[in-house]
Chains A and B, each alone.
Chain A
Amino acid sequence: MSVLVAPLALLWPAAAVAALADGRRRPVGWAAVAVLAVAVGLLTALAVRVAADGPVEVVAGGWPAEVGIRLRADALGVTMALVSVAVVLAGLVHGVAAGQSPRLFPALMLFLSVGLAGLFLTGDVFSFYVFFELAMMAGYALVALGRERRMVGGALIFAVVNLLGSFLFLIATAGLYRATGTLEMLAMADRARGIDPNTAVVIAVLYFVAFGVKLGLFPFHFWLPSVYASAPPAVAAILAGALANIGAYGLLRFEAGLLPRELAFGRAVLVGIGTASIIYGAVQAIGRRDAREVLACSAIGHAGYLMVALGVGGRVGLSAGVVFTVTNALGKALLFLAVDLRGPLVSAAFVVGAFSVAGVPPFAGFFGKAALFDAGVQAGSTAAVALLFVGGALTFVYLFQIYQHTYWRPQPAGPAAPVGARAVVAVVAALVLVVGLWPEPLLALSDQAGGALQGMVP
């Protein structure tokens, strides 16, 4: 069996079995953790192979290449898949170790990983939609699983807004299929050059709105703070570290990969929206006191950086967008996982996450910000560089506000968090540090991804 199909073939049956089992029991939870860990291992092997030999392709069901649905792992897809599924794994371990996971928690996490792995590794637009709905449905259910009263309302708003985004995506896909006559991403990119510019602009705008909603970009952010703040920490970490990657991937793949001409056309708008998003998110975050709300608002700000990267464009800009998305996903996941825990190591892990998200060496986030800086300098845009600097400084302010308010106060009485939850936070913090100290694999994959996105339209 191809290493490309293996993660899906492993996760899907496991998710179906887990749905029948009682996830409140520890052994079921740990079995799900083991399956997901194997899947992360397989995705790592796939990433190593893609980095060495270029994209891996499989046509499902042994059909001829033009008829069958094509699974395709290129540098962009495999990087995103690996990071997202790894974040889901961290969330699953955290939830299982904390002990009070609801019955369907492990099954939903596995379904979420099937959806994520599938959507990042498919080369077909419609199967992208199917996997994407699978991942999002698991996401809606996970947000709604919480026990607090206010969560149900938040989950419903989350579901309604994101479903609206999904249907816009579907309408845009129908339009692009009508215009190009294919669903294959590579062929679409090739044929999209020849379609009527008016049609292409409408489709590009629809895709932008659809994925902007997922990402929580400034004008579409209204649902984000209440959902992120009311979800349980493991779920919030997954929203910020895995589901938000769908929005980033979609913007990179569909805007930069399929419709680069229209993207270049809207460059000024992108930078404008990105700037608004960064400033608005940071100001909102500084104004909040509750640690989770601060982190939620900072997600709005960090969506803006990706817009700036897309606006700068070119191989440097796109690969900077990839590096930033990956490091930011890891840092955000770490912060959300750490924020409600107390006990030894946790505050150190929180500081690692905070430094990483603010972009301080030697943590992973530094390379994300550095790549964006580099892209800004190469594009000769003083405004972009100044904006990145101001954004970084504001990030620093609000993250250390949280640190001061939560960890420098006397700790509330009560037992320390479970060892498993603290251990997973420590492991993620170590990962952030390792990526920061040894960034070459990530940078090489991202550079390849930026090249591949541009290569879709030679």
Chain B
Amino acid sequence: MNLFIALVVAVLFGTGATLLLKSDLFRVVVGLVLISNAASLAVISSGLRRGQAPIYPLDQGQAVSDPLAQAMTLTALVIGFATTALLLAMAYRVYATHRSVDLDDLARSERTTEEALERGPEVERDQTRT
């Protein structure tokens, strides 16, 4: 079971990391969502233990399963949800200002903006910067 969960975490994290390296912004966001889920799964797996439900009254002498890991995962999921919302909102703003969600396009348009700025009022100041 441990090995299986470790493999699932690894695959989720690896897929997420691969997507993170793409130039499409939405793929980057999805990659981060996958990584956040890998982290949640890692947290829940930190409390993997068979036992009775941790609700009072408890039977004496029997193992109790760990409720803390579940509570942490719940919190982590909520935080993950909020980060996803924030990232999507930012990605949408990028789309609204640049009309593109491709990071290469973004870098290109930033370069042109910067060059335009430098050609403007401060011509003599900085010719060397690329």
Q: Are A150 and B114 in contact (CB under 8 A)?
A: yes
Q: Which chain A residues lie closer than 8 Å to B36 at the CB level?
A: 163, 167
Q: A167-B36, A170-B43 known; A152 and B97 CB under 8 Å?
A: yes
Question: Closest approach, in angstroms, between the C-beta of A146 and any C-beta of chain B?
Answer: 11
User: Is there an interface contact between B126 and A289, defined as CB atoms closer than 8 Å?
Assistant: yes
Nearest chain A CB to B49 CB, angstrom units: 10
Confirm or deny: A207 has a beta carbon within 8 angstroms of a beta carbon on chain B. no
- 0 or 1 for each of B77-109: is its CB under 8 Å from A? (1 = yes): 001001100110011011001100001001101
Taking a contact as CB atoms under 8 Å apart, the answer to whether A159 and B43 are in contact is: no
A145 CA to B99 CA in the complex, in Å? 19
Q: Is residue A153 contacting chain B, with contact meaning CB distance below 8 A?
A: yes
| B68 & A183 in contact (Cβ 8 Å cutoff) | yes
Q: How far is the CA of A173 from the CA of B44 in the complex (A)?
A: 11
Whether the pair A164, B32 counts as a contact (CB closer than 8 A) is yes
Min CB distance, A436 to chain B, in Å?
33
A133 close to chain B: CB less than 8 A: yes
CB contacts (< 8 Å) of A126 on chain B: these are 72, 75
Residues of A within 8 A of B64 (CB): none
Q: Are A159 and B79 in contact (CB under 8 A)?
A: no
> Is B43 within 8 A of A160, CB to CB?
no
B113 touches A149 (CB 8 A): yes
Docked CA distance A178–B76 (Å): 16
Nearest CB of chain A from residue B32's CB, rounded to whole Å: 6
| Range class of the A interface residue count | 20 to 34
A160 touches B32 (CB 8 A): yes
| Interface SS of chain B | helix
Is B129 touching A140 in the complex (CB atoms < 8 A)? no
Q: Decide yes or no: A152 and B126 within 8 Å by CB, A170-B43, A171-B42, A174-B42 being known contacts.
A: no
B125 and A159 within 8 A (CB): no
A174 in contact with B46 given A137-B83, A156-B90, A160-B32 (CB within 8 Å): yes
- Report the 3 A-B pairs with minimum CB-CB distance, sorted nearest first: A178-B46, A174-B46, A167-B39
Interface CB pairs A-B, < 8 A, 20: A129-B76, A141-B86, A150-B113, A152-B94, A153-B103, A153-B107, A156-B94, A163-B83, A164-B32, A167-B32, A167-B35, A168-B39, A171-B43, A173-B43, A174-B45, A174-B46, A177-B68, A177-B72, A183-B68, A290-B129
Residues of chain B touching chain A, judged by Cβ–Cβ distance below 8 Å, are 20, 25, 28, 32, 35-36, 38-40, 42-43, 45-47, 68-69, 72, 75-76, 79, 82-83, 86-87, 90-91, 93-94, 97-98, 103, 106-107, 109-110, 113-114, 125-126, 128-129
Binding site for B on A (CB under 8 A): 126, 129-130, 133, 137, 140-141, 144, 149-150, 152-153, 155-156, 159-160, 163-164, 167-168, 170-171, 173-175, 177-178, 183, 288-290
